[in-house]
């Protein structure tokens, strides 16, 4: 679905999104499944988590006065799949030798980690839509079903809205991620469940 009206924003300066930690949890959960839970260097996890949070660097658009809905505004080009492909490529090129991992495999992992961010954002119930295909197409999109309560920057996590956001992400993001990780773990041959 194309972008609809924003809901749930408390002030004009708030920039809605899932909380940063939630993006990192999803990326690391995916990383666990993709690595078959083998012991990976800390750098692997730091880069996966960092890439999953990186798209929200565009929050500087508000104080810089960048108009909402433009290419460089929140959920614009930094949230696009082409950007995720390019950035993850550069990171994988720099990291595959230190990590001693196959380049294309690492690129795929990091592309999925960074792409999970706009994917989650499109499930939120407010804020701007996501420009998945920027800069080739600046259309903003949401998914038809949007159960995740948006979390604005500067959120007081102990406020009523903060608690609603945490509860929403626990139900709609953390629980499915943990279930996926758990099922992947149980699907492994019994001998592979021991730490590598």
3-state class of 124 per DSSP? strand
Are 55 and 78 spatial neighbours (Cβ–Cβ below 8 Å)? yes
151 forms beta bridges with 17
Quick count: other Cβ atoms within 10 Å of Cβ 23? 26
Please state, for a pLDDT cut of 70, what percent of the chain lies above it: 82
Distance CA(15)–CA(138), nearest Å, equals 19
Measured distance CA(102)–CA(98) in Å, rounded: 11
pLDDT (mean) for 66-94: 96
Q: What is the pLDDT of residue 192?
A: 64
pLDDT digits (tens, 9 = 90+) for 7-63: 433 333 444 556 888 999 999 999 999 998 889 999 999 999 999 999 999 988 888
Report pTM.
Answer: 0.86
């Amino acid at each position: 679905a194309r972008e609809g009206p924003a809901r749930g924003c408390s002030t004009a300066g708030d920039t809605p999104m899932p909380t940063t930690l939630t993006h990192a949890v999803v990326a690391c959960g995916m990383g666990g499944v993709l690595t078959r839970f083998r012991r990976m260097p800390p750098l692997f996890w730091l880069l996966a988590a960092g890439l999953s949070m990186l798209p929200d660097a565009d929050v500087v658009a508000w104080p810089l006065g960048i108009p909402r809905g433009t290419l460089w505004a929140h959920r614009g080009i930094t949230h696009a799949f082409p950007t995720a492909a390019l950035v993850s490529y550069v990171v994988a090129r720099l990291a595959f030798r230190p990590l001693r991992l196959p380049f294309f495999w690492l690129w795929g992992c990091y592309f999925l980690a960074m792409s999970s961010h706009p994917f989650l954002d499109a499930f939120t119930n407010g804020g701007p839509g996501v420009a998945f295909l920027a800069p080739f197409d600046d259309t903003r999109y949401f998914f038809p079903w949007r159960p995740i309560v948006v979390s604005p920057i500067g959120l007081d996590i102990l406020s009523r809205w903060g608690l609603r956001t945490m509860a929403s992400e626990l139900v709609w993001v953390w629980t499915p991620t943990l279930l996926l990780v758990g099922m992947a773990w149980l699907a492994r041959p019994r001998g592979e469940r021991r730490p590598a």
